[in-house]
Amino acid sequence: MSMIETYPYIVHTNRELELMLKGTKPLSVFCVDNIQGKEQFTIEMAQSNQGFNSHVEAGTFFMDRMKLTETRQSDGVVFVFDYYAYTLVGERWRAPAYFELTRMLKQKRWCQNLERFEGTLLGYTEEQNNYYINQKYPDSCSQKMNNG
């Protein structure tokens, strides 16, 4: 059993489209990461073929995109990270906020508060975020107090 299967709530993974169509998930983000010049991974694969693009074309969702590259110092290999953010109408502000969080992560400026903000952007509740943070950062007294 994976750690995620022990959570007291169902994670959004592979249920993003279903939850967005219900209006309970305001943002879904997928990353397509490849080695430059050897693109093998596609957005459809990242989305588990959930079919987000037809909903963008219909105007149900917005799609924003951000591309980051990272060069490995040891051999000069360039990695390309292509992020696709899908938002509900009225929630488009979440995409640039998520992209800024991603830049901070790539700069190694990540912390549990940013992790909590990421969960909120993705539509997890305060209780779900508290549970996740307590699992990932078990030594944090301030977060344990929030979770009872």
Domain boundaries, the chain: 4-137
Q: Residue ranges of the chain with pLDDT lower than 70?
A: 1-4, 140-148
Q: Give the per-residue pLDDT at 2.
A: 67
Taking only the tens place, the pLDDT of each residue in 35-72 is 888 878 777 777 777 889 999 999 999 999 999 999 98
As beta bridge partners, residue 88 has 61
Tell me phi and psi for residue 31, to 5 degrees: -115, 130
Q: Give the per-residue pLDDT at 37.
A: 84
Q: Give the per-residue pLDDT at 78.
A: 93
